[in-house]
Structure 1
Amino acid sequence: MVAAGAVTPIGLRSIDTAFSHRAAAAAMREAPLVDGSGEPITMCFLPTLDPLVTGAQRAALLAERALGEALEKLGPAARGLRMQMTVCLDEHLGQRPPGGEAPAQRLGAELAARVEAHAPELAVKVSTRGAAAAGFALPELCDALGRGAIDAALLGGVHTDYDPARIAALDAAGRIFGPDNLDSLIPGECAAFVVLMRPEVARRAQLRDLGQIVGVATAHERARPDNDESAFQAAGLTAALRSALAPLSERGLRAGWMLTDLTFETFRHFELQAASVRTQHLFCDPQQVESPAQRIGHLGAAAIPLHLAIASEAFARGFAPHPCAVSLAGSDGGERAVVVVAAPG
């Protein structure tokens, strides 16, 4: 990783977000959106954005800010690089309305136009697999980098629940946080992008190494928000943790820091508890587990890119609790992804 950009309810740039996260900053406030009973909801959102802008249009604004920061950090080095970008979005943005275009495709086209001035030869892909999408996209990006097909890869994620239709869907499913509904999530919004390069390309571009992707693994779980399957099975997450952490284990190393996308929905906590017990030998002290979504709102498809942005800032500034971090995320459809990143050196 050589650059990162992020915008969240606790920071308008990646460094702001990372330090605010370190300080356990919270962003819950009453939102100008209501539930099915007409009551205002508790949400984490960016008060600096126009309150009348919602849904995919709002997601585009978030993405442009985070992407702009990442590209700004590349500076002149971005010009002339062969680049590929994957933008991860929530599942509902991939749904095509009758006679119309899926919001995800429009958003991807807007971001491609945004980047064209910096990287004319940019290939853009959009993935609507939710929180785990980045884990499924990373192997292809890393393979293209390894083969020399591209010089740089942009991996980003965007999420917003600031949308009346989205709030209505969450409310109908009984998933919105409230005094009488603690087994739930706090709606949120954020975006993050990271730039990946091969070491020799980064050196030529005079860019600092902020962290290295060590392992990536994906899996599927049967337990989802819409069923009663036992989350304690955790077979998929267990397998993904073992696979992603194997490269560390082979070098005699273990991970001591975990960043998750866990909200307050208990089935995901049960799942992680079960998987953690089975993979204890792959972890070490301080075994610090952090779940930003519990303070800055649901992360959605931005989860893994945001984790990587936070880790890169922490590595660069010396406040990471451990030099090996694990990013863990799960989509509503049962997809699970684990990404392991190590500090430079």
Structure 2
Amino acid sequence: MAARAIGEALGTGGIESEATAILLTPPESFRNHPVYRDIEPPDFLAAVIRATGQKFHVTSRAIDGGAAASIAMLERALRVMEQDGVQQVLLGGVDSLVNDTDLGRLGKARRVKSVDNAQGLVPGEAAAFVRLTREPEGKAAVVAAIHSVGTAQETDSVLSDRYSQGRAMLGALRDAVNGSGPSEPDINFVVSNGNGERYSGWEMLIARPRFYRTRREILPTAYPAMTIGDIGAAGGAMALMLAADSFVNDYAPGPTAICEVASEGGLRAAAVMAGMTRR
């Protein structure tokens, strides 16, 4: 699944794989995911690259940390592209919650949506990768640009026995707009990997009013999990992909978006993106 997504992302441009670095977020190691019965976590990236049949730049890395780690790796992606021989980065993740191990632990914690639990997640699986370059390519009239990133670590994660008070997500959001780029009043819509769990809803119910202080009639928010389920570590790249696609294909509610991404282990990340018209 990851190899296919990487191949599709690579095929959207004309840069060779040898000049491409992969930054991959695999299933979190604490979950004892079934994939690790055959492949040790340190060997996961090498196995994925072998499956592609391509050779990629030696700066390629796999980073443990869940969906938010993909957003957190954006700054690393920029540093990687500053090195000789790297022209682009394929950033993304691959995961599946549709397995006995994850279904068992999620069910035991009453986190799965069911007739008895309306505020639960729907397990999903996916691989998602975005292709990053330092400068726009081709002749597209509109391109998507990432302006800034913020990260923070939540101590009261969904794995704890406490609900989050939204402090880490609030910190990540504030960091993402603490610069010379777009600020909070400029944000037109949100892409979130919120999955329908009571924990997730509670966290954002507290964090969002503290961050979005500008009066708005509505703040459009996209939740990919509503259609494809919770895709775990692939959720960060999926949020970036959806925001970028909305700009390029002209269905975005406005020119500026923010991606809000949370990982099970507590990492929180936000990225400000904008659609830019080329002249």
1:182 deviation in Å? 2.1
Q: Could you say what secondary structure the match of 1:263 adopts? A: coil
1:131-190 deviation digits (Å, cap 9, x = unpaired): 211122221112232566732111011121122222122222222211112232111111
Q: Provide the C-alpha distance between the structure 2 equivalents of 1:93 and 1:252, rounded to a whole number of angstroms.
A: 35
Q: Provide the C-alpha distance between the structure 1 equivalents of 2:242 and 2:207, rounded to a whole number of angstroms.
A: 24
1:116 deviation in Å? 5.7
Match of 1:41 in 2: none
Match of 1:89 in 2: 26
Q: Could you say what secondary structure the match of 1:157 adopts? A: strand
Q: Provide the C-alpha distance between the structure 2 equivalents of 1:307 and 1:250, rounded to a whole number of angstroms.
A: 18
Distance 1:173 1:196, change over 3 A: same
The amino acid across from 1:165 in the alignment is: T
Match of 1:25 in 2: none
Match of 2:134 in 1: 198
Q: Could you say what secondary structure the match of 1:344 adopts? A: strand
Query: In the comparison of the two structures, how many residue pairs are matched?
Result: 275
Q: Provide the C-alpha distance between the structure 2 equivalents of 1:212 and 1:79, rounded to a whole number of angstroms.
A: 22
1:334 deviation in Å? 1.2
- The answer as to whether partners of 2:26 and 2:95 remain within 8 angstroms in 1 is yes
Q: Provide the C-alpha distance between the structure 1 equivalents of 2:217 and 2:130, rounded to a whole number of angstroms.
A: 27
Matched, 1:323 2:260: no
Q: Provide the C-alpha distance between the structure 1 equivalents of 2:191 and 2:182, rounded to a whole number of angstroms.
A: 22
- The answer as to whether partners of 1:93 and 1:128 remain within 8 angstroms in 2 is no
Distance 1:253 1:136, change over 3 A: same
1:255 deviation in Å? 0.9
Match of 2:2 in 1: 63
- The answer as to whether partners of 1:132 and 1:336 remain within 8 angstroms in 2 is yes
Match of 1:313 in 2: 245
Q: Could you say what secondary structure the match of 2:160 adopts? A: coil
Q: Could you say what secondary structure the match of 1:247 adopts? A: coil
Bigger Cα displacement from structure 2, 179-188 vs 103-112:
103-112
Q: Could you say what secondary structure the match of 2:177 adopts? A: helix
Match of 2:44 in 1: 107
1:72 deviation in Å? 1.3
Which of 124, 141, 162 aligns to 2:60? It is 124
Distance 1:230 1:155, change over 3 A: same
Q: TM-score, normalised by structure 1?
A: 0.71
1:67 deviation in Å? 1.2
Which of 118, 129, 144 aligns to 1:211? It is 144
Which of 104, 119, 141 aligns to 1:183? It is 119
Distance 1:222 1:297, change over 3 A: same
Q: Provide the C-alpha distance between the structure 2 equivalents of 1:90 and 1:318, rounded to a whole number of angstroms.
A: 33
Q: TM-score, normalised by structure 2?
A: 0.87
RMSD value, Cα? 2.8
- The answer as to whether partners of 2:10 and 2:90 remain within 8 angstroms in 1 is no
Q: Could you say what secondary structure the match of 1:339 adopts? A: strand
Q: State percent identity of aligned pairs.
A: 26
Q: Could you say what secondary structure the match of 1:78 adopts? A: coil
Which of 144, 148, 158 aligns to 2:94? It is 158
Bigger Cα displacement from structure 2, 129-138 vs 187-196:
129-138
Q: Provide the C-alpha distance between the structure 1 equivalents of 2:120 and 2:232, rounded to a whole number of angstroms.
A: 14
